[in-house]
Amino acid sequence: MDGSIPVRRAVVTGGAGFVGSHLCDRLREEGTQVVCVDNLLTGSADNVRARSGDPGFTLDVRDVSEPFDVPGLVDLVLHLASPASPHDYARHPVETLRAGAHGTANALDLAQRKGARFLLASTSEVYGDPLVHPQTELYWGNVNPVGPRSQYDEAKRYAEALTTAYRTTRGVDTVIVRLFNTYGPRMRPTDGRAVPTFVTQALAGKPLTVAGDGSQTRSLCYVDDAVGGILAAAASGHPGPVNLGNPVELTVLDLARRIRDLCGSASPITFVERPVDDPGLRCPDITLAHSALGWQPVVDVDKGLAMTIDWFARLG
């Protein structure tokens, strides 16, 4: 599949989740029919409620870890189904591993049956606590396979291996993207990741809880940019893996201060124990995304944070 061939119908697993729902919206805006497959474990029907009554959109509530089919033609399968925040995969470790293993296999089988392009939404977490900085796609990672984050890290690493195997031995047209610290509207207040945690604390006038001394870094990519990168990868003939993230690197402490200022909050900053295996550095090398996909993020971090804060403020 290449960018000159329109995608008539796409399947988005995890399509009622944070990133998945934005992806469904963008596909519908481009005229693609969408089948959203989600068991709503961490996703929410509210995220796709605006699509209610849209004849080109279907919400199919099911667990992709069980074999499933989608009747009719399918040009593109986008596999995003998985818990994605530390709080979620700590609560649902087996479900997370099943989504990465069985869910990926079932989505790949669907793509193979339909002759569809397949995209795996992987993660920067495959790099673990990196010893190479910034992280390129050639870096193999530094991952603890039995640590408290292992269910997510290893699920995605296995999913990448399985996707590669289907490409090399079964001829499935696949691409792998690795998302870095995506943020934006529709993140849950209790998500547990830094942006929604700091925003909800600042808006409520509560102390902002920074893990460790806050010197660890993150690279925030606004969700609209991430979705644009996903669709650029899907439209390309590139197999990946390819990093999709914003190379503007911030310390967690600086992020907390920026969010506090943007919220106009006087909340103090307090320091709490840093989680085990919390990555010390996170920054993508996006040279490949730029050269192979013609993609780079365009939303300024402060602008993206302001739009995210506005969304949380409207939640009340």
Positions annotated as catalytic residues are 152
Q: State the Cα–Cα distance between residues 64 and 271, nearest whole angstrom.
A: 39
